[in-house]
Chain A
Amino acid sequence: MKRPFSYKLNIFLFLLPALILFLGVLIAPIVMSFVYSLMDWNGLSTPTYIGFKNYVELFTSRSINISRALQNAMLLAVLSVCIQLPFALILALKLSQHIKGERWYLAIFFMPVLISSVVIGQLWIKVYNPEYGVLNALLRSLGLDSWTRIWLGDKNTAMGACLVPILWQYVGYHMLLMYAGIKGMPAELNEAAMLDGCTPAQVSWYIIIPYIRPILRVSVIFAVTGSLKSFDMIYVLTNGGPMHATELPSTLMINLLFLRNRYGMGSTIAVMLIVLCFVFALLINLAFKEEK
């Protein structure tokens, strides 16, 4: 009778440090954020309980305008799934075909992931500079002067201009995930398909892609939740401007927390982001499950 109890106690004791870490680092901040989201608090005075007023204000205030931030985040998520991931998949399929210089290409495509977003942001600010930027210079040299723009300063072009470096930066990350999945496939699967007369395109479509579906699911989850949480590149490129045209929930949250001293409202956006990430992760899991 004593052994099973002792066995369970051992399991509990061994899991306890991880549990404490999990509760302290992940669960406690979420709970605290939820508690603060019910408060009117400037970060310095005593918080006042106001129920769900912050949530009501978040979705009704013209000044905060969360709908614009959510629209931008959703646009980023859709483009990540529809452009970034297919591009990463094509690269992964091509590189896994034992092409010459495979490792070099892998390193080159993965390099933007290793470079700090601040550095990449600064590089793209130079590219988009209306006077000496490469983009406008290229357009002028092609005689397309009327196409030149103040790319990051015009509210009609700023979001598009920000999307390019954000999508470009993480292609290599998803490519590497998919490449690892493809390389982990048993070789006989491909060989059998080839012997049966499949073209390389058919092997990719009917054999490789279904096989790496768990990895594709992880990539989709990372791309969607990453888009919802996206912050650094937009912060460097436009800081949410001009006129909030590139505002994302996270930049709005920083603005409310540290510029407006509205810690209660900032926590409300944090809670909303956590809920959205969970919901989207569950929906994506469900979508991939149904396909099975």
Chain B
Amino acid sequence: MKKLLALAVAAMMLLSLVPAFAEETLTLWSIAVESDSSYQSFIDAIAAFEEAHPGVKIVHEPTQNEQYKTKIKAAMNAFSDLPDIFFTWGMSFLGDFVNAEPSRVLCLEDYYPAYEAELARNMCANASYDGKLYGVPYTMSMVVLFANMDLLAQAGWDHIPETYEDMQKCCDDLLAAGITPFGVSGKETWCLTEYLEPLMIKSVGTQKLIDIYEGRASWNDEGIIAAVDAFQDMVKKGYFDPNAAALGNDEVKNNFIAGKYAFYQNGSWNCGDISKSENAASFKAGLFPVLNPDNASLYELIGGPNNTLAVAVTTENPELAATAAFELGRAMSDADYKSGANLPCWAADPEAQVSDLVAQVVEIANNAVGMVLFGDNFLSADAANTYLDYVQQAYFLALNANEFAEGIDADMK
């Protein structure tokens, strides 16, 4: 009896090894930790891929956003222990890895035609270098002005102001009613750019801003100075939460949802969290008004396709990894759209049920006449940090608008 039992156990152990030998494993690094709005989308996308590809296992290793930047850069620098697939932002962030010597990223151009019908070429611009695709964009995001209509009503406003003068009047009325107009995190500088960049694009226009970012035009420009002036005016008039300097973005977002601020200008990825709140009906999505109508219009936006999956050149199975990147990207695009976490880069399901807030953001995106990616993604790592430094100094009023423009212009050269 004992021998039989031993034989059965041995046979079971041997059998359990069979799928392990047959299984192909891919590693995926991302920033989708449990608190991230895309966490569930990643889990679902991976499960769906594993089901469609029996014998393939994807090991997901999420890391917090800021730590992730250090982790992926250190791994790329060492050129060892790289994952098969990794999350990345477009433009300069991915560009540094693509242009490394030797390149750390697998070119996906040969695999793209199979998905071209669902992923338009213009959506791939921020992941393409020298005309070749190196990443699979899955969602796009843009800066949106979220408004708490209940608080606006308390100040006598039934709509989001449409002109810059009206916006100033609205903020004054809100302050008079004891309501803080804007919530922002002064601790996380990228949150300050969510206010300054819409002012810049609505002062100089899309093409000029791109020219400035790409070094073809000077930062020392009247339109930029006007935008920084307007930004500092908002600070001086007390339109921002006085405690902003000590608050992180999550705290600010929660304060906004709790009804502490009338407006919260941040990425469209917040739609999901805001829509899930108890008072979701109070919120509306809009845009910051135009600063200079001669140069810009309302639907010139900050944002674009940005969240991307790329494949490391060191992967042992390039074809499988590339297929996984595309299929996960497609699934993520759909899932993030439906959950309100982001806008899709891939052709969206026309019958998808989305929240009112997401529908409003989609309408804004559909009306866009120009888009410029977030400055800290557009600029190279060194330039982006110089830029963020100046934005922080402008917010804390450590320099005036002219000093901002002259200083950043000199340092960028």
**A interface, CB within 8 angstroms of B:** 42-46, 62-63, 128-131, 150-155, 241-244, 254-255, 258-263
Contact = CB atoms under 8 A, between A and B. Distances in A.
Given A44-B100, A45-B100, A259 B385 contact: yes
Contacts of B246: 128-130, 150-153
B74 A155 contact: no
B110 interface: no
A160 to B, nearest CB: 15
A42 B93 CA distance: 12
Contacts of A241: 187, 392
Contacts of B97: 44
Interface of B: 69-70, 73-74, 76-77, 96-97, 99-101, 104, 186-187, 242-247, 380-382, 385-386, 389, 392-393, 396, 398, 407, 411
B396 A242 contact: yes
B101 A261 contact: no
A45 B392 contact: no
A259 B77 contact: no
A128 B96 CA distance: 39
B356 to A, nearest CB: 31
A261 B407 CA distance: 21
A260 B396 contact: no
Contacts of A128: 246
B73 to A, nearest CB: 6
Contacts of A243: 392-393, 396, 398
A54 to B, nearest CB: 13
A185 B97 CA distance: 60
A258 B393 CA distance: 22
Given A150-B245, A155-B396, A242 B96 contact: no
Given A43-B73, A46-B101, A242 B243 contact: no
Given A63-B411, A153-B243, A261 B73 contact: yes
A48 to B, nearest CB: 12
Given A63-B389, A242-B396, A258-B69, A153 B381 contact: no
B101 A260 contact: no
17 contacts: A43-B77, A44-B96, A45-B101, A63-B386, A130-B246, A151-B246, A153-B243, A153-B246, A153-B247, A241-B187, A241-B392, A243-B392, A243-B396, A259-B69, A259-B385, A261-B73, A261-B382
Contacts of B74: 258
A155 B245 CA distance: 10
Contact of A154 (B69, B73, B245, B247): B245
A174 B3 CA distance: 64
A165 B407 CA distance: 35
B278 to A, nearest CB: 22
Nearest to B398: A243
A131 B73 contact: no
Q: Which 6 pairs, one residue from A and one from B, show the smallest C-beta to C-beta distance? A: A153-B245, A44-B100, A153-B246, A43-B77, A261-B381, A260-B382
Contacts of B381: 42, 259-261
Contact of A45 (B69, B73, B99, B245): B99
A263 B74 CA distance: 11
A99 B242 CA distance: 49
Contacts of A261: 73, 96, 380-382
Nearest to A153: B245
A101 B387 CA distance: 56
Contacts of A259: 69, 381, 385
Contacts of A152: 246
Nearest to A245: B396
Nearest to A263: B77
A153 B385 contact: no
Given A45-B100, A242-B245, A153 B73 contact: no
Contacts of A131: 243
Nearest to A42: B96
Contacts of A46: 101
Contacts of B242: 150
Contacts of B101: 44-46
A129 B393 CA distance: 22
Contact of A153 (B100, B187, B407): B187
A236 B366 CA distance: 41
Contacts of A153: 186-187, 243-247
A258 B69 CA distance: 8
A260 B243 contact: no
B243 A130 contact: yes
Contact of B76 (A44, A244, A262): A44
Given A44-B101, A242-B245, 17 more contacts: A42-B381, A43-B73, A44-B96, A44-B97, A63-B389, A128-B246, A130-B243, A150-B246, A152-B246, A153-B243, A242-B187, A243-B396, A258-B73, A260-B382, A261-B96, A261-B381, A262-B382
A261 B385 CA distance: 10
Given A46-B101, A243-B398, A260 B96 contact: no
Nearest to A244: B389
A254 B74 CA distance: 12
Contacts of B243: 130-131, 150, 153
